[in-house]
Structure 1
Amino acid sequence: MTYCLAIAIEDGLVFCSDSRTNAGPDRVSTYSKMHRFSVAYDRSLVLLSAGNLATSQAVVAQIQRDLEEDASFNILKARYVADVADYIGEISVREQAKYQASSAPGAGPGFNANATFILGGQIKGHPQALYLVYPEGNHITASELYPYLQIGEAKYGKPILDRIVRPDTPYETAMRCALVSMDSTIRSNATVGPPLECLFYRNDSLKPHARYFTLEERHPYLAKLRQSWDDNIREAFTKLPPLNEVFADAE
């Protein structure tokens, strides 16, 4: 399992992803789920992946291959971010079918080659855009009311996003919110874990992604964020209205 999210705000786009692919008792494996493609002053795109690792790796490999071979369509020839979302969806469906067909005889009924992606960024001459690409190949975009998208183990990190994120949220606040959302998921699900990758693309900059960082498990900032969030949640809880009034009404 994994967890990735992206937030669309007026300042730009925030992306955050974990890197855990396996969390068994004998081994913990990690793999980056954030993939970056950019040409300065022309286009800047970020792809997050969740689901079957073989499928997501095959999709990224095909994107790279189409770029190297200057295929009739590749992400450098797309006019709109939506066109890239369609292209990724087509590759994903094709790769899923390939793995399901080749593995069906011995894989058993539990085999699942599905992969889900978040694609965000901007192409020169057009506004920034953010899409969630489903395993079936179709895609949706984020809404104004809830300007974020999640893939993977989404439920634990959703409440903080619903309460804090709005289109006019400053990017630094949105990035901290993404990290709290990620850490809340890590706290409740051992299959999600560091290193965490976080990136901010500034709207209309069309530059390579300068505001990017990774946080390892023992990074001082991550430890400070966790402690501060825990302390403040506990303090807020102690300030909740007492139940005296409820008890009084029941008597």
Structure 2
Amino acid sequence: MVRLSNTMIGVLNAITFLLSVPILAGGIWLRQRADGTECEKYLAAPVIAVGVFLMLVSIAGLVGACCRVTCLLWFYLVAMFLLIVVLLGFTVFAFVVTNKGAGDAVSDRGIREYRLGDYSNWLQKRVESSKNWNKIRGCLADSKVCRSLEDKQDTLSRFLRDDVSPIQSGCCKPPVSCGFTFSNSTQWTGTSNSTDPDCATWGNDAATLCYGCQSCKAGVVATVRRDWKRIAILNIIFLVFIIIVYSVGCCAFRNNRRDHRNSGYKQGAYA
């Protein structure tokens, strides 16, 4: 029974090591792609970091448990404890900064519009930062997020009933309050008497659209808010699993220390 914890840690870390290999390979592939977008290259660094971290920790746990190497198990437990603290902190933080904000329905129809001021100050500042926004804008342009709307030959009434994502609503069309004439999903003409600065920022060119609009930033924040809420819920489940694994690791660590003490006593008795 006392050896069960070592076996469980060994099996769990063998699985983790196998999972870290494709994660690390995927990050390196994103970094090395000759035709990769700036967005993909920007995402490559955290993917590589996660892959390296999982690989090192799983190797430490695997060798420490199977070969009874106490120092490696100690390193493993410290790393797992730090992971628990980071995940717990991020989960609490994610719930706090995503507590505010929701899109407003346009004239009781399906499409919704988003205002940057409705969200937490922390998210607003991060998105409004010129350095951050230039990267985000480049990612949006590279990913051609508006292309799916360009292929639709909708009427205005049908377009307003479509299931449009927050980013598409904010970045691929002008605000409805501008009063522009609908040509197609990404082509709007006419002049506007609205005081909304987004109306003057809008352009029909595919590289312009509303990528410089406040509504586009709000759409990005709305997407981040939705995704962070989902991640926070998954983190809670993952935290429970990590805490269980950490507890098993503590048992394995105690087993190793007891084995070393017993072997020391036996050597002393025979000396």
Q: TM-score range by the shorter chain?
A: under 0.3
Larger Rg: 2
Between 1 and 2, higher relative CO (CA 8 Å, sep ≥ 6) is seen in 1
TM-score normalized by the length of structure 2: 0.23
* Length-normalised TM-score, structure 1: 0.24
